[in-house]
Homo-oligomer: A and B are copies of this chain.
Amino acid sequence: MTGHPELTRNQSLVLKALDKAEGPLSAYTILDLLRDDGFRAPLQVYRALEKLQEFGLVHRLESINAFVACADPHCHRHSMIAFAICENCGRVDEFSDETVEARLGEWVAANRFKPAKTTIEIRGNCAACAAQAQ
């Protein structure tokens, strides 16, 4: 139904770690979390992350070099997903917007650009942290 194959042991472990975290994690943080499960080297994490991104189960946040579990099982319907990242508490909100997709799609079409991956990330403070900062 979801369109992705069974996960391997390493992929499952990495995904579980991200789900449990409820926030972005760096690859090396994931590695440390999985030491007890036999993980020894960064590549074990990066290879699992690569597959999980292919399956659409994990997103990479380019601007902070971190990874999050996908919050929306239907996000692969969209050509692009936007993230709002709180630099204070680490909270990440994932959303998509048809209009933004359409406008960027227009630019791409007008310039005959062949997009492979689109990144939209807003960094700042979430409502809770912004209120607290007063």
Closest B residue to A118 using CB positions: B122
CB pair A120 B119 closer than 8 Å: yes
Residues of B within 8 A of A42 (CB): none
Within 8 A of B (CB), among A76-134: 82, 84, 86-87, 93, 95, 97, 99-100, 103-104, 107-108, 111-127, 130-131
Given A95-B107, A99-B99, A100-B100, check contact A118 B116 (CB 8 Å): no
CB pair A119 B63 closer than 8 Å: yes
Tell me which of B104, B116, B124 contacts A113 (CB under 8 A). B124
Residues of B within 8 A of A121 (CB): 62, 118-119
- Which A residues are within 8 Å of any B CB, using their own CB? 62-63, 82, 84, 86-87, 93, 95, 97, 99-100, 103-104, 107-108, 111-127, 130-131
8 example contacts (A-B, Cβ-Cβ < 8 A) are as follows A63-B119, A93-B113, A95-B107, A104-B120, A114-B130, A116-B124, A119-B122, A119-B123
